[in-house]
Amino acid sequence: MRNTLIKKIMEPFLHSRDGIIIEVNKEFVNFTGFTMDELLGKSLIEIGNLLKINPKILLDSISSQCSGYLFTKSLNAREVSISFLNGIKTNEKIYTFVEKLNSRLEDKLIFIEQTFTDNIQGLAVYSVPDLILLKANQKYLDFLQPSFNKEENSIGRSINEIVTGFVGSQVEVIWDNVLETQKTSSTKEFRYNKLERGITNWDSILTPISEWGELKYIFVTTNEVTENILNKQSIKRQNEIIKEQKEFLNRMIDTLNLPIIRLSCPYLRIVDINKKAFNIIKSLRPNVSLIGQIKDMKVEDLFKIFKSSEYKHCVSGVLKEKKTTYLNKEKQIINGEEVYWNIIFEPMLDVNGEIQEILILIIDVTPEIKSNLIIEKALKSQEELIVNISHELKTPLNVIYSTVQLLKLYYSNGSLDENKDSVIKYIDSMKQNCYRLTRLINNIVDTSKIEAGYFVLNLSNNNIVEVIEEIVMSVTNYTESKGINIIFDMDIEVKVIACDPEKIERIVLNLLSNAIKFSEFGDEILVEVKDKNEFVEISVKDNGIGMEEKDLKMIFDRFKQLDSSLSRNSEGMGIGLSLVKSIIELHGGSIYVESELGKGSKFTVMLPSNEVFKENMLYKSKMRSKNENIRVELSDISS
């Protein structure tokens, strides 16, 4: 059983029993460079020391997973996720080590690897936030105390271990400031008296390096200039260091994942630009095809609007205050699309605190801004929803309340019998408005169910011609009472399709309700069913008041109302047709409308001619259009 578990683990792993390593796989040996003999029989603490794992990470204390660095036999840093698995026995533990993707320093810093090899100046890379020494050249190690001037004694240790007197010193303050501000810190001829050899002087540059917006490393460039201070040749050396740092900055700009532009000071000429920034400029200035065309060009010559824009104001602020300035949510049109940027104007200071260059970093925040716009639109729609629902609830409730007050008055006066006809009329009015409330609530609930994915169709195979005809015949009393002639016509007598008869009834009643509402005495409503082979076409046509073409685009939108003059015969919130469209689409069909103002409207429903193999006989159509359903669906028609 244990062997089966071990075989399933493909990542490098350690297997311990009672805190002693009893097994490692070949992947772990290949990953770390240590031999089996160097690993087996070691305690977990010894393994931690061998791999130089952060002392804060105790293998024996890992309960599930943690992340950190370990170091191979050749002292290469490897960023890993360490996962803990219980072995078969309670005293056994398995630790897997998964290297994080694209995390190797030798791959990331390949462009400055030669600088490490040249050993001209002290170079080191520290991790953030633990400040563990991940990589250093011998020049840097030689600056340390004798006990730490060898790789095996310093790599993998924190800075407060290898730099004597670091804790509580001015050096620690400088490092803390870099971590907090994430800005490059350059110190010249820094005086340090914590080493055994006495007072020393140093030139150092701490360069924070970020990945995906998070501070990842501190790149250290340092030189002891104690002797150079007494030597006039130190000026030449400083110039060489500055030159090297500029070359380093050039290489760094091309590796960062953000559009960056370097401007010289004080003339604001383009010193350098990376590919991402150049692609933006090409989108704004199609006539620019090569980076060489814009190098050494003044930024105001490239963009005339720069002189009077907020960009100029931000750059002026950097020159004046020597501080970073920001331009947030800047809108631009690129290739016909709106984009939004947060722009950072970062001053690059020399060792004397003077501005050498200004870095312009561009951060694309378009997805965030557009998401906020969508949320704002949704909130506005929600407000409209609340207003509309309040209005629709208030109207029938006012009628019911007023009727109750009147009946109470009749009762108090003892005149109920005298006003019997009026009482009956008022009770019918109350009932009618109860139907209206029921229809409104049903529509809101069902619309919410559809949006949440909980609305269910009970499909069965039915003769759709018969279903539609029964529904049409059930409303003839309503149409006759309003002097409206309703006609049913079909080009086929039997057409069996899969549908939910109850939902079909709801669709047709809603369309008939609209046709009746917007028709006058003497008008005609035509309901047709046509066989279109793969589809069945159901249409409801009236010759009522019709609609303007501009209204057709929003007729199926939720809670959209047309001009009040078009709804003088009734009230309605506009949720009905939206629900009808959703139910039809759940059937796999579609609906569209044709209308002309003053000539009437025609709603056409297309349903697929499919059948189901397993139908729910409980919902199979017989005569679905019951009086109560009709009263609810036609409740907003004035009686």
Q: Sorting pLDDT into bands at 50, 70 and 90, what band is 623? A: very low
Q: Which residues pair with 527 in a beta bridge?
A: 488, 540
Binning pLDDT at 50, 70 and 90, where does residue 114 land?
A: confident
Average pLDDT over residues 293-321: 77
| Alpha-carbon distances of 465 from 176, 537, 541, rounded to whole Å | 80, 10, 17
Q: Who's near 595: CB < 8 A, 6+ residues apart?
A: 546, 547, 549, 551, 552, 601, 602
pLDDT recorded at residue 349: 78
In angstroms, the CA 616 to CA 303 distance is 70
Name the nearest CA neighbour of 555 among 588, 592, 526, 528. Answer: 592
Structure tokens at 86: 């219980």
**pTM assigned to the model:** 0.45
Which of 51, 126, 39 shows the shortest CA–CA distance to 82? 51
Closest CA to 546 of 562, 535, 522: 562
Residue 429 CA to residue 71 CA, distance in Å, equals: 85
Mean pLDDT (whole number) for 204-213: 88
- Find which of 155-164, 391-400, 555-564 is predicted with most confidence, using mean pLDDT: 155-164
Nearest Cα neighbor of 497 from 455, 457, 525 is 457
Backbone phi, psi, residue 78, to 5°: -130, 120
* For residue 129, cis peptide bond before it (omega within 30 degrees of 0): yes
The DSSP-derived string for 310-327 is HHHHHHHHHHHH-S-EEE
Q: What is the DSSP string of 257-310?
A: SS-EEEEETTT-BEEEE-HHHHHHHHHH-TT---GGGTTT-BHHHH-GGGGGSH
List pLDDT tens digits, range 23-45: 999 999 999 999 999 999 999 99
Predicted pLDDT of residue 132: 92
Mean pLDDT of all residues in the chain?
82
Residue 596 backbone phi and psi in degrees, to 5: -140, 130
Q: How far apart are CA 432 and CA 523, in angstroms?
A: 24
Confidence of residue 13 (pLDDT cuts 50, 70, 90): very high
Alpha-carbon span 291 to 281, nearest angstrom: 10
Pairing mode, strands 460-463 and 496-499: antiparallel
Residue 163 tokens, joined: 């730099």
Q: What is the Cα–Cα distance from 187 to 140, expressed in whole angstroms?
A: 16
User: How long is the chain?
Assistant: 639
Does residue 242 or residue 623 have the better pLDDT? Answer: 242
Q: Is the model's pLDDT at 572 over the cut of 60?
A: no
Give the pLDDT score at 618: 58
Q: Which residues have a Cβ under 8 Å from the Cβ of 137 and sit 6 or more positions away?
A: 116, 117, 119, 122, 123, 124
How high is the pLDDT of residue 14? 92
Q: Which domains does the chain have, with CATH numbers?
A: 2-99 (3.30.450.20), 105-255 (3.30.450.20), 260-364 (3.30.450.20), 370-448 (1.10.287), 456-633 (3.30.565.10)
The answer on pLDDT for 70 being more than 80 is yes
Give me the pLDDT at residue 361, please: 84
Pull the structure tokens for residue 294.
Answer: 């814009």
pLDDT at 570: 43
Strand partners of residue 135: 125
Amino acid at 589: G
Write down the pLDDT at residue 531.
93
Task: Give mean pLDDT, residues 532-551.
Answer: 90
Kindly report which listed range (80-89, 97-106, 499-508) carries the lowest average pLDDT score. 80-89
Whether 558 shows a pLDDT value over 80: the answer reads no
Which residue stretches of 84-158 are H helix? Answer: 105-108, 113-118, 138-142, 151-154
pLDDT digits (tens, 9 = 90+) for 448-490: 888 888 888 999 999 999 999 998 998 888 888 889 999 999 9
Position with higher pLDDT, 289 vs 135:
135
Condensed to tens digits (0 to 9), the pLDDT of residues 242-271 reads 676 666 666 666 666 778 888 888 888 888
Amino acid 204: pLDDT: 86
Angle, alpha carbons 8-13-18 (nearest 5°): 110
Q: For residue 357, is pLDDT > 80?
A: yes
**Beta partners for residue 355, in sequence order:** 349
**Cα(137)–Cα(113) distance, integer angstroms:** 10
**Band of the pLDDT at 564, cuts 50, 70, 90?**
very low
- Judged against a pLDDT cut of 80, whether residue 547 lies above it is answered with yes
Residue 245's pLDDT is 61
